Amino acid sequence: MNLYKDYLVKQWLPILTVLAAIVFFMVFHWNYFLFSFQIALGLIAFPVLIKPNSNQTFLLRYLYLSALFLVASWLSHLQVFLFMSWGCFLFFCLEWFWGAIGYLPLFFMACISPALYYVVAIFSFPLRLFLSKVACYLFSLAQWQVQNRGSYFILPSGQEFHIDEACVGLKMFGTGFIAALIVLAFREKKEAKRFSFLGVCLAMTSMLMLLILCNFIRILSLVLFHSMPGSMSHELIGIISLAVYALIPFYFISKFIPLKESVVKGLVLSSSYHKKYIPLLLLVCFIVTTYYLGLLRTQSKRDLALEQLNLPGFSKKEKEDGVMEFKNDSVLLYIKPAIQAFEGGHPPQICWRASGFELANFSEQKIGSYSFMMGTLKKDSHIHYTAWWYDNGIQKTAQEWEWRRHAANPFRVVNVNALDSAVLLREVSYYLNHSVILSK
């Protein structure tokens, strides 16, 4: 009987604990996952990144990180921290039972996290516009008269050339980061050492810089060769740019990042037998805490000032996640709940794409001293005109970094839509000059 009990504890208890943690991880985050090419690539790469060192078990570092992310989730009410906390708890279980796995899995979690999707979608949009302006400037130095109109170019022939959203997009960044982790994992295996946390940070920062360079060269190449979105040459240029200007340079850069012997002290207890039960007990506590934090986050989402707002001549309807829809015969206006500088919010470039619309012809416009983004939304044969900006009742801007830098008062996204561009500009002008958002 004792032998059977020992067998269960030593062999099956670790497996069942990890499986239970995975199941509850998926239960709490099933609506947070964005299944995509990056997720599939990440799952394929994960076994390469996980190489336990069986000489080092009963480790606590990922438990500390899990607790840190849990506190961050409680303070900020951001689900991404809860996501990272669960991931670190899973890695704690792996290190506790089977040995040290290093820091690469932590960065893997960040790469497959939907947070990467939101960060890239939000910040790559202004970056793509900036790189397009720089590309246009270089073309002018070469005496090639190309005009930039935000997200598209006008060639000397008068033809419009649109830059695919994949440029400076999620697929390029997600693929690049995961490929970088695979390169680092193979080097760890080859030299039987580990990268330090700072070493991995340095490596990923290097890859980020290379990906920005890669995307800039991709934009130049696409315009030079008139390679239209959806064509074979368009995809080929993207693959070659990623390989030549990001992956190959990163391979050589990674050789200059030092590795070190991985020596991490585990917990010392009088009985190693009882150590097997600790993750299971912590898992129960973790589930209860996560459930409680989920209730707190749901209660904190309400924007009472926005809920009480009424616009003359508009019908009002509350949409998902507290978004307010104001509608009349010619205008559809969305105002989204207040967000702090560290939050992702509901950027229209994400929300409209999720609704099946294609974003096109986007550029930054100005009315007086106020800037806003304007473009078209296409779905089947329907074309809508849309504009948006960030507004806290005092300041209004289209610049992502600008509003986050001045977010002492929380900002709200104002998104105006119309079937006619003249109507849209009229409404945008009115709401920019007559603040619809309260300053507190």
Q: What is the pLDDT of residues 283-341, one digit of tens each?
A: 777 777 776 666 555 555 667 778 788 888 889 988 877 788 999 988 999 988 877 76
The C-alpha atoms of residue 105 and residue 192 are separated, in whole angstroms, by 17
Interval 9-36 mean pLDDT = 65
pLDDT at 411: 82
pTM for the structure as a whole: 0.74
Q: How far is CA 70 from the centre of its chain?
A: 19
pLDDT at 421 over 50: yes
Confidence at residue 226, expressed as pLDDT on a 0 to 100 scale? 77
For residues 269 and 59, give the distance between their C-alpha atoms in angstroms, rounded to a whole number.
Answer: 12
Q: What is the pLDDT of residue 234?
A: 78
Average pLDDT, the chain: 78
Provide the pLDDT confidence category of residue 51 given band limits of 50, 70 and 90: confident
Q: Which residue has the higher pLDDT, 349 or 385?
A: 385
> Rounded CA gap, 385 and 363, in Å?
12
Residue 408 has pLDDT above 70, yes or no: no
Average of pLDDT values for 371-388? Answer: 86
pLDDT in tens, 196-246: 999 999 999 999 999 999 988 888 888 888 777 777 887 888 889 999 999
Q: Residue 53 class from Cβ within 10 Å (0-12 exposed, 13-18 middle, 19+ buried)?
A: middle
Q: How confident is the model at residue 107 (pLDDT cuts 50, 70, 90)?
A: very high
**435 has a pLDDT exceeding 80:** no
pLDDT band with cut points at 50, 70 and 90 for residue 271: very low
Q: Write down the pLDDT at residue 253.
A: 95
